[in-house]
Amino acid sequence: MKPRLLQHGRLPEKTEAQLAEQFDVHPFWAETDPAGYLAKHGGEFVAMTTRAAIGVDAAMLAALPNLRVISSFGVGTDKLDLETARARGIAVGYTPDVLNDCVADTAFALLMDAARQVSAADRFVRRGEWPKGPYPLTTRVSGKRLGIVGMGRIGRVIARRSIGFDMEVRYFGRKPQDGVDYGFEPSLEALASWADFLMVATSGGPSTRHLISASVLEALGPQGYLINIARGTVVDEAALVSALTDKRIAGAGLDVFEREPHVPEALFALDNVVLLPHVASGTHETRAAMADLVFDNLQSFFATGSVLKSAV
């Protein structure tokens, strides 16, 4: 008998085929009566997969009384009820590290676009406006000051990318990080005031909700740029929209939003913000590596009792 696995959200085709070979998979994402199905069959499942964007909450875990392992596609754990998983001894696998490079690359793509207005200048050309005159001057990146909010796995790779731009780096977080050669700033407002570019690379969830507040944006100021490749919930989005509209910050580059896939339409007409649809890890190479790790976490758990990359 193959162990029963509840698939919560689609996964790459190769991964779904791998799971089908090793597990008795139920495609929960296709379920027309999710609550009814779990009430009737929830006790049959010992394993489940999910995605960082979907997660698994306390109510769902309560409907899975025999669950032993969760394998999540993504590094974000803000939608996973880790406290309940820990209390019940449920292993939780996720996919850190394999996406660091592509997320850090996207962070600099957004930073460069926000400062040099690459996308806005492209639209300028396509609208046939160049013959009427030159595109306005933009902002230099090289040699500027980069403030990183969250010096974790991805924040450290972003800091390394800054070397190529001769940037000075300081960072903010709960505490100074060992083995990090950048200046630690215990005050987020002070970091925002110092930085030319404020890079949000911290985890999502209740502890960081609206960490980038109206007062932080005010400290960043009319010469400062905000880049967010973390979670939309980390930024007070209404305050950001207002600051961009009123040009109380110079610009922003955003890959994540508070209510994805819905983006405040007030941003659509602005040339001082770059909008991406949460694609930072969205390359063939990285998504394949994440998918492999989702499967490998499960294989490891059923072979050894432990996942390869544990979130708990």
Task: Write out the catalytic residue numbers.
Answer: 231, 260, 278
Q: How far is the CB of 52 from ligand 8YV (least distance, A)?
A: 3
Indicate the DSSP class of residue 80. B
Q: How far is the CB of 62 from ligand 8YV (least distance, A)?
A: 23
Tokens of 10: 């689609």
User: What residue type is 65 in one-letter code?
Assistant: P
Which residue's CB is nearer to ligand 8YV, number 26 or number 51?
51
d(CA 38, CA 120): 48
d(CA 272, CA 120): 8
d(CA 19, CA 255): 30
Q: How far is the CB of 75 from ligand 8YV (least distance, A)?
A: 4
What DSSP assignment string belongs to 31-48? -SSHHHHHHHHGGG-SEE
Give the DSSP H or E segment for 21. helix 13-22
For residue 121, give every residue at least 6 positions away whose Cβ sits within 8 Å of its Cβ, in sequence order, or none.
Answer: 135, 138
Residue 67, SS3 per DSSP:
coil
Which residue's CB is nearer to ligand 8YV, number 170 or number 231?
231
Judge if the upstream peptide bond of residue 176 is cis by omega within 30 degrees of 0.
no
Which residue's CB is nearer to ligand 8YV, number 152 or number 224?
152
Which residue's CB is nearer to ligand 8YV, number 12 or number 34?
12
Which residue's CB is nearer to ligand 8YV, number 51 or number 156?
51
Which residue's CB is nearer to ligand 8YV, number 171 or number 257?
257
Q: How far is the CB of 51 from ligand 8YV (least distance, A)?
A: 4
What is each CA distance from 289 to 49, 86, 281, in whole angstroms? 16, 26, 10
Tokens of 280: 């930072």
Q: How far is the CB of 261 from ligand 8YV (least distance, A)?
A: 12
Residues making contact with ligand 8YV (CB under 6 A)? 51-53, 73-76, 99, 281
Tokens of 228: 């967010």
Q: What is the CA radius of gyration of the chain?
A: 21
Nearest to 253 by CA among 75, 159, 115: 115
Q: How far is the CB of 277 from ligand 8YV (least distance, A)?
A: 11
Cα dihedral 8, 10, 13, 19 in deg (nearest 10): 0
Contact 58, 84 (CB under 8 A): yes
